Amino acid sequence: MNDTTNAAPGGAGSDVANGAARDWTPDELMTVNAARALQGSRTCFVGIGLPSAAANLARRTSQPDLVLIYESGTLGSKPTRLPLSIGDGELADTADAVVSVPEIFNYWLQAGRIDVGFLGAAQVDRYANINTTVIDRGPDRPEGRLPGAGGAPEIAASCRKVLMVLRHSRRNFVEKLDFVTTVGHGSGPGDRARLGLLGQGPVAVITDLGVLRPDPETAELVLTEIHPGVAVDQVVEATGWKLRVADAVGVTEPPTQAELAALRALKSGGDPRA
Amino acid sequence: MAEIRSLRDAVAELIHDGDTVAMEGFTHLIPFAAAHEIIRQGITDLTLVRMTPDVIYDQLIGMGVARRLVFSWGGNPGVGSLHRFRDAVENGWPRPLELDEHSHAGMANRYVAGASRLPFAVLRGYRGSDLPERSSTIATVTCPFTGEELAAVAAVNPDVTVIHAQRADREGNVQLWGLVGVQKEAALAADRVLVTVEEIVEKLEPTPDAVVLPSWAVTAVAHVPDGAHPSYAAGYSVRDNEFYQAWDPISRDREAFLAWMREHVLEAS
């Protein structure tokens, strides 16, 4: 993961070495790497937005057997285009089974049957805890309202592991959350066990700049990989706490033409196999 | 037994000022037409319950119909914020809105308890979250068998639940399929149940995975084709994603919102 020799055909990769413009966007880099992070997982509880794009891309590229599970009650959805909502009809029409919302949360999620939960977030802290509820805008202004918890607290609690995907900025990666909606690693090692959370919690946070992973000793997020063309300082600068950097930071593989074609086809509503 | 009524009569008879009303449908089968009828009739001071407030409650909240909202995820799915919901919570416009906020798992279980006529439900939930600090309907309970501490959530028992379904027969038996969400639980949790349907048929044909609500569990059925738009009814329509995207600029601006509601709801019928 630390060179550019496997770069895509078509010239995109050759631009990486000299830093010239390349033919993918930061969001595409993020989504492609988020999709790759699903390798080895069989079942994925999918949040809407970036996680859904990544999970669908994984199913269209390296993980054709990935079982996509949506909180609207679908097991094994196989959409051909990216759904706008978690309740688009295609998710149900292409599913192996459609169940009620109480069933999806109680029998499938809470029972610990699902390998990986894939979440987005508005605010993340150094222990990969998540705020999607309210933003403190200072003493003279009312709290800024975010959508709220949705499925996230129990997805992060009960899936065997958790992946997160969000854009990297000081606004999103904060020293202290204004509100803890969803627990990642709490306040450090041992907290998940103390709280009785079943799964191992967040194992990677994939952003448009690189990948952060929790330190096995401290549970604090550490920068382990940067994307091609991104500098370590840039990631440190975009993080609201003093970000720890791994001794040897890797560079992620550039997106392949196949990955980019599949992602663009999903986004444009077409079938990449067509 | 359910009576077949006009939407106007059914809403007038079943829904009153100050009621707790759940209008369910998890993205699919959202009863928009019934919400618009509530607005037209000027019914107010409602406690609105819904897992995902969606555009339907953005409209009700923006029109000042609600004093309290019980929910678990308040965004415009795939688009962004619900601006009328945010304006009410942040700025009290057009009136302040009290919140009782949950996770999806918690809300789903509150309906299960309500349908079961139990006082509360248990789940492994909310652990380490700040959500319980802001809600009086989340507590903990110790399992009498294992000693494990579990989350307890209070039952939801609406005065009225309103849902949209694909079909009913002339006796008022109701059939819905596709994403069935939490509608069965929400209906069985309520004192009164109003169902709007795409179609009234002579005989309900069995459909794979369909939920059937027997007539004796329903109060009133109203024939309202396309009554879920811009949500949808599987087999009859598709989700109008363009409308959900168009709602963002309409709902950002108070005047634009009011003008839209005047033209499409208040002056429609």
Tens digit of pLDDT at every position of chain A (274 positions)? 343 333 333 334 444 444 434 789 999 999 999 999 999 999 999 988 899 999 999 999 999 999 999 999 999 999 988 888 888 899 999 999 999 999 999 999 999 999 999 999 999 999 999 999 999 999 999 999 999 999 999 999 999 999 999 999 999 999 999 999 999 999 999 999 999 998 999 999 999 999 999 999 999 999 999 999 999 999 999 999 999 999 999 999 999 999 999 999 998 875 444 3
Query: What is the 3 state secondary structure string of B197-254?
Result: EEEEECCCCCCCCCEEECHHHCCEEEECCCCCCCCCCCCCCCCCHHHHHHHHHHHHCH
Q: Give the 3-state secondary structure of residue B23.
A: strand
Interstrand relation of A97-98 and A130-131 (parallel, antiparallel or unpaired): unpaired
d(CA B208, CA B213): 15
d(CA A160, CA A40): 12
| Domain of residue B80, residue span | 3-102+157-266
Q: At what angle do helices B241-252 and B83-91 cross, to 10 degrees?
A: 30
Contact between B103 and A150 (Cβ < 8 Å):
yes
Token digits of residue B243: 């409308």
Alpha-carbon distance A223 to nearest alpha carbon in chain B (angstroms): 25
The helix (run of H) or strand (run of E) holding residue B114 is: helix B104-116
Token digits of residue B209: 């995975």
In this structure, are B136 and B223 located in the same domain?
no
Structural domains of chain B, count:
2
Give Cα separations from A24 to A8, A21, A229, A260 (angstroms).
Answer: 11, 9, 11, 8
Bridge partner list, B192: B160
Give Cα separations from B16 to B41, B214, B243 (angstroms).
Answer: 10, 25, 30
Q: Which tens digits make up the pLDDT trace of A1-12?
A: 343 333 333 334
Nearest to B77, CA basis, from B258, B261, B243, B260: B243
The helix (run of H) or strand (run of E) holding residue B123 is: strand B120-123
Q: Which residue of A has its CA nearest to B239?
A: A88
Alpha-carbon distance A55 to nearest alpha carbon in chain B (angstroms): 15
d(CA A81, CA B190): 38
pLDDT at A268: 87
Q: Which of A91, A100, A183 to mutate to test the interface with B (most CBs of B within 10 A)?
A: A100
List CB contacts (< 8 A) between B126 and chain A: 153
In this structure, are B161 and B33 located in the same domain?
yes
In this structure, are B162 and B33 located in the same domain?
yes
In this structure, are B150 and B258 located in the same domain?
no
In this structure, are B126 and B188 located in the same domain?
no
Token pair 């979250």: residue: B129
Select the residue of B90, B127, B184 nearest A144 (Cβ to Cβ): B90
In this structure, are B148 and B65 located in the same domain?
no
The helix (run of H) or strand (run of E) holding residue A31 is: helix A26-36
Neighbours of A103 (CB within 10 A): 18
Residue A149 and residue B26: Cβ atoms within 8 Å? no
Q: Which residue of B has its CA nearest to A197?
A: B127
Q: Which tens digits make up the pLDDT trace of A192-211?
A: 999 999 899 999 999 999 99
In this structure, are B181 and B195 located in the same domain?
yes
In this structure, are B127 and B256 located in the same domain?
no
In this structure, are B234 and B123 located in the same domain?
no
d(CA B71, CA B76): 14
A26 exposed, middle or buried (CB, 10 Å; 0-12, 13-18, 19+)?
Answer: middle
pLDDT at A270: 54
In this structure, are B212 and B85 located in the same domain?
yes
The catalytic site residues of A sit at 71
In this structure, are B8 and B126 located in the same domain?
no
Kindly compute the dihedral angle of the four CA atoms of residues B133, B122, B147, A185, in this order, to the nearest 10 degrees.
-50
> Residue B233: which CATH number?
3.40.1080.10
Select the residue of A72, A149, A191 nearest B26 (Cβ to Cβ): A72
A183 exposed, middle or buried (CB, 10 Å; 0-12, 13-18, 19+)?
Answer: buried
Alpha-carbon distance A248 to nearest alpha carbon in chain B (angstroms): 33
Please work out, in degrees rounded to the nearest 5, the angle formed at the alpha carbon of residue B32 by the alpha carbons of B110 and B169.
85
Q: Give the 3-state secondary structure of residue B90.
A: helix
Contact between A178 and A132 (Cβ < 8 Å):
no
In this structure, are B70 and B174 located in the same domain?
yes
Residues of chain B with pLDDT below 50 are none
pLDDT at B186: 98
Residue B138 DSSP class = E
Neighbours of B249 (CB within 10 A): 11
Select the residue of B79, B104, B239 nearest A150 (Cβ to Cβ): B104
Q: Which residue of B has its CA nearest to A185?
A: B128
